[in-house]
């Protein structure tokens, strides 16, 4: 794939040399560029619709106010030849949407808790400087290290403001209207009830709701109210569906899943004023227990007696017991798994284990 706006080798702002096209969403194209002045690679974002200039530059100054490790850093803003560009820290990795789609669809409660904690930190920093995100969703969360799942950074602050009317119209319309707007379709599952009524109501509590909706998705593999037009009345009713039984069927996971789910429910109350602030959410996340041991991917090569088997990895084999598998009753030969290894004999032992793609 390539972008429409630029080709490899183009020089922007007398400083940024286009290396390659990264991707696009509904509103902007994203490129990896080389900053010739500071000799490092960064990311260049430019809106597809150049008439949205005022809103784009506004979103740039908004994101530039936020300074936190869990937020992608805004480095520069360039206007040139009727076009305008935001320069952002390059995050080597992928976005969380890509991670869920291509690597692991449902994270165990330890990984999910860590994501929620880090996103809450980034959100709290932005709320401290009165910046509201408005469009928190998996594709606006960058996963540092991609498959290595090292850290998490929120990106694209306030950019949804550019598409506010479009989203509003699509959500208030019908199925067809919604599917015709990629941006509205992507935003909807994480929208708070008050923003469905009117995007102008997108305040800090709507961001807290969105983080919880996102956490619900990574913990269960499903969006709380589904996607598409049928989600609208469900979001408005704000009845968070209960946890699917398999998620709480194994005692090794139950207390941790429940702790996160309680937080999710707290953040997804219909009344925005009843939700915790980002700071309160951070404080609650500081009380979550999880382990930070790095994860590995593997493939089940033996699963003999329904209870245990072994996975091959890039390193040595790992022993996998069914009790350590989150939300699944069993594993089968050939299945991909994502897990933390611990010392054991003759093989390392995995905990927790989740299915991977």
Partner 1 sequence: MKLPPRYEKVGSSFCGGGMSTAFKCKDKHLDRHVLVKVLQPGVDQKRILDEVKALSAIRSKHVVQIYDVLKDSSGAVTALVEEFLPGQDMNAVIPIKDVDTFLRYVYAIACGLADIHVVGVVHRDIKPNNMKIDAEGCLRIFDFGLSRTDGVNCETIGTIGTLGYIAPELCAPPNQKVNFTTAVDVFAFGATALKLVRGKLPNNLRTIPPSLPSADADFTSQTLTLPPEIAAILNQCLSKKAARRPSMETVRDTVGRHLLHGRHKATMIVGEKIHYLEKIGQSVKLSAGSLGSVNVSYNGYNFIATNVVGDVFINNMNIVPPQNLPGACVITLGAPSLGVRRRYITFDVTHPEVVL
Q: Which residues bind partner 1 (CB under 8 A)?
A: 37-40, 60-61, 64-65, 67-69, 73-78, 110, 114, 117-118, 121, 125, 128-129, 251-252, 254-256, 286-293, 319, 321, 323-324, 340, 342-346, 348-349, 351
74 binds, among ligand ATP, Mg ion, partner 1, none (CB under 5 to 8 A by kind): partner 1
> For the chain, how many residues are written?
357
Q: How far is the CB of 73 from ligand ATP (least distance, A)?
A: 9
- Does position 156 bind Mg ion by CB under 5 A? yes
Measured CA to CA, the distance from residue 288 to residue 281 in angstroms comes to: 11
100 binds ligand ATP (CB under 6 A): no
Residue 321 binds which entry of partner 1, ligand ATP, Mg ion, none, with Cβ cut-offs from 5 to 8 Å by kind? Answer: partner 1
Closer to ligand ATP by CB, 183 or 269: give it.
183
d(CA 31, CA 42): 9
Is the CB of 78 or the CB of 259 nearer to ligand ATP? 78
46 lines the binding site for Mg ion (CB under 5 A) = no
Residues that bind Mg ion (rule: CB under 5 A) add up to a total of 3
Closer to Mg ion at the Cβ: 156 or 207?
156
Nearer to ligand ATP, 28 or 269 (CB): 28
CB of 146 to partner 1, least distance (A): 16
Residue 58: CB atoms within 10 A of its CB come to 15
Can you tell me which of 3, 26, 189, 352 binds ligand ATP, judged by CB under 6 A? Answer: 26
- Is residue 62 a contact point for ligand ATP (CB under 6 A)? no
Closest residue by Cα to residue 211 from 94, 124, 150: 124
Close Cβ partners of 343 (under 8 Å, ≥ 6 residues apart): 349
Among 22, 231, 300, 327, interactor with ligand ATP by CB under 6 A? 22
Secondary structure class of 82 (helix, strand, coil): coil
Identity of the residue, 79 or 175, whose beta carbon is nearer to partner 1 in the bound complex:
79
What's the rounded Cα separation, in Å, for the pair 357 and 353? 13
Nearest alpha-carbon partner for 96 in 181, 27, 190: 190
- Minimum distance between the CB of residue 67 and Mg ion, rounded to whole angstroms? 19
Interface with ligand ATP: number of residues (CB under 6 A) = 24
What are the residues facing 21 on neighbouring strands? 31
The option from ligand ATP, Mg ion, partner 1, none interacting with 65 (CB < 5 to 8 A, set by class) reads: partner 1
Cis preceding linkage at 46, omega within 30: no
Q: 30 forms bridges with which residues in the sheet? A: 23, 45
Edge-to-edge strand ranges of the sheet holding 141-144: 93-95, 141-144, 151-154
Question: Encoding tokens for residue 279?
Answer: 């700071």
Q: Check binding of 23 to ligand ATP (CB under 6 A).
A: yes
Phi (first) and psi of residue 64, to 5 degrees: -70, -20
Q: Which helix (H) or strand (E) holds 77?
A: strand 74-80
The CA distance from 42 to 17, in Å, is 10
Q: CB-wise, 214 or 311, nearer to ligand ATP?
A: 214
CA-to-CA distance for 42 and 109, rounded, in angstroms? 33
Residues that bind Mg ion (CB under 5 A): 25, 140, 156
Q: Which residues bind to ligand ATP, rule: CB under 6 A?
A: 22-28, 30, 43, 72, 88-91, 94-95, 135, 139-140, 142, 155-156, 183, 186
């Amino acid at each position: 794939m390539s972008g429409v706006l630029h080709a490899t080798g183009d020089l922007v702002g007398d400083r940024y040399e286009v290396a390659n096209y990264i991707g696009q969403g509904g509103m902007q194209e994203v490129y990896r560029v080389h900053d010739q002045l500071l000799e490092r690679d960064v990311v260049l974002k430019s809106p597809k619709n150049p008439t949205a200039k005022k809103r784009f530059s506004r979103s740039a100054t908004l994101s530039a106010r936020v300074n936190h490790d869990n937020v992608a850093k805004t480095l520069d803003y360039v206007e040139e030849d009727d076009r305008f560009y935001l320069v952002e820290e390059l995050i080597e990795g992928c976005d969380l949407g890509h991670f869920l789609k291509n690597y692991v669809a449902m994270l165990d409660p330890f990984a999910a808790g860590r994501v929620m904690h880090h996103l809450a930190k980034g959100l709290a920093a932005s709320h401290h400087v009165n910046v509201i995100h408005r469009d928190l969703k998996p594709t606006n969360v960058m996963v540092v290290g991609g498959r290595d799942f090292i850290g998490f950074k929120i990106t694209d602050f306030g950019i949804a403001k550019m598409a506010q009317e479009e989203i509003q119209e699509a959500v208030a319309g019908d199925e067809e209207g919604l599917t015709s707007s990629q941006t509205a379709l992507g935003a909807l599952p994480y929208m708070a009830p008050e923003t469905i009524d009117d995007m102008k109501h997108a305040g800090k509590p709507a961001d807290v709701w969105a983080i919880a909706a996102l956490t619900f998705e990574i913990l269960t593999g499903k969006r709380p109210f589904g996607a598409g037009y049928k989600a609208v009345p469900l979001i408005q009713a704000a009845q968070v569906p209960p946890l699917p039984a398999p998620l709480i069927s194994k005692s090794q996971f139950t207390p941790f899943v429940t702790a996160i789910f309680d937080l999710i429910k707290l953040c997804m109350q219909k009344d925005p004023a009843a939700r915790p602030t980002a700071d309160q959410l951070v404080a609650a996340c500081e009380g979550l227990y999880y382990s930070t041991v790095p994860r590995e991917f593997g493939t089940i090569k033996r699963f003999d007696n329904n209870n245990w088997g072994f996975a091959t990895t890039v390193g040595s084999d790992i022993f996998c017991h069914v009790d350590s598998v989150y939300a699944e009753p069993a594993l089968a030969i050939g299945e991909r798994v994502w897990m933390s290894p611990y010392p054991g004999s003759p093989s390392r032992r995995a905990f927790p284990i989740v299915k991977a793609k």
